[in-house]
Amino acid sequence: MDSDARPHAALHAALAKLLRPLFRLLLRHQVPFGAFEELAKRVYVDVALNDFGIPGKKPSISRASILSGLTRKEVQRLLAAGDEPASSAALDGGRYNRAARVLTGWVRDHQYLDAKGQPRALSLEGEDGFAALVRRHSGDMPARAVLDELERVGAVHRRDDGLIELLARAYVPRSSATDKLAILGTDVADLIETIDHNLDVGETDPRFQRKVMYLSIPASALPAFRKRSAANAQALLEKFDRWLAEHDVPNPPDAPNAARARVGVGIYYFEEGAAPAPASDDSKGDKS
């Protein structure tokens, strides 16, 4: 195999591996291949037009056709169809971020913890109430809107005595499949963006991308590691959150148009079954 073919073969192999869990999810949700194919064509055309333009030239159907491999007629059809309306229940990035900041503040801000260091049940109003928590950690977002959102995803509960009780320490929707699928779109896209960036300019401007993995851990040890990894990961994310919250300030008056960026660090746990370890020790850890 020549040197030019190797990257394409590696990309095809990686794509096949990436698509397996995605297609498993699509089939579980009764999404036929035709629907996936149509969406893939539309996104191909959109990316070709918006991300691969020639400086100084207006994006054209011909260029989109050349880059995507689709016919000009097909590109025209896809563009004429327009964008599908976004679901009103789809997860909004700003809403996600503000709700997550309120939960993080509730968990780590000493003003909202009890004598044992656990998040207190809060009244809606009052000096140390939920509304004050929202103002402190989520800016000008209406407290009732944040409360409704956190109730909707199962993160809080309004008790019979009127107090608001924390049920989850992180913004992870438990009841809404729509929100969970929206997180799939944002989180997986962020990881792929990071990998693409590192492939493109990683030598000069690398972004952190690591994992630790062992191939044959006894299943009996998994509950302890799930608990340990969740606790340590949450602590690390809260540390990052404190730093980011301190720097999430408006542009100064003398530089109102200064560049800004969406930035973060993601941590995820993975697990799949494995055959019993052979007598020889070939299950060493993999850090990559």
Residue type, 215: L
Three-state DSSP state, 156: strand
Tokens found for residue 113 = 């913890």
Give the pLDDT of residue 121. Answer: 95
Give the H/E segment covering residue 91. Answer: none
DSSP for 192-225? HHHHHHHHHHTTTS------EE-S---GGGHHHH
Instruction: Tell me the β-bridge partners of 22.
Output: none
CA 191 to chain centre: 8
Instruction: Tell me the β-bridge partners of 122.
Output: 164
Q: Rounded distance, CA 104 to CA 169, Å?
A: 7
Tokens found for residue 107 = 């968990």
> Could you count the other beta carbons within 10 Å of the beta carbon of residue 275?
7
Topology classification of domain 93-166:
Arc Repressor Mutant, subunit A (1.10.10)
Give the pLDDT of residue 54. Answer: 87
Give the pLDDT of residue 91. Answer: 41
Which residues, including other chains, have CB under 8 Å from residue 242's CB and lie 6 or more apart? Answer: 108
Q: Rounded distance, CA 69 to CA 53, Å?
A: 16
Instruction: With beta carbons less than 8 A apart as the criterion, state whether 45 and 70 touch.
Output: yes
Give the pLDDT of residue 67. Answer: 93
Instruction: With beta carbons less than 8 A apart as the criterion, state whether 210 and 202 touch.
Output: no
Which residues, including other chains, have CB under 8 Å from residue 96's CB and lie 6 or more apart? Answer: 171, 183, 186
The tens-digit pLDDT sequence of the chain (288 residues) is 566 678 788 999 999 999 999 999 899 888 899 999 999 999 999 999 999 988 888 889 999 999 999 999 999 999 988 765 444 333 445 556 677 889 988 988 889 999 988 999 999 998 889 999 999 888 777 899 889 888 887 889 999 999 999 998 777 666 567 767 777 788 899 999 999 999 999 999 999 999 999 999 999 999 999 999 999 998 898 888 888 878 888 899 999 999 999 999 999 999 998 877 666 555 556 666
Q: Rounded distance, CA 270 to CA 192, Å?
A: 17
Q: Rounded distance, CA 173 to CA 145, Å?
A: 16
Nearest Cα to Cα of residue 100 among 157, 152, 171, 155:
171
The pTM of the whole model exceeds 0.85: no
Alpha carbon separation from 128 to 64, 131, 132, 136 (Å, rounded): 56, 8, 6, 10
> Could you count the other beta carbons within 10 Å of the beta carbon of residue 58?
8
Ordered alpha helix ranges (H), 52-161? 61-68, 72-81, 93-108, 130-138, 143-152
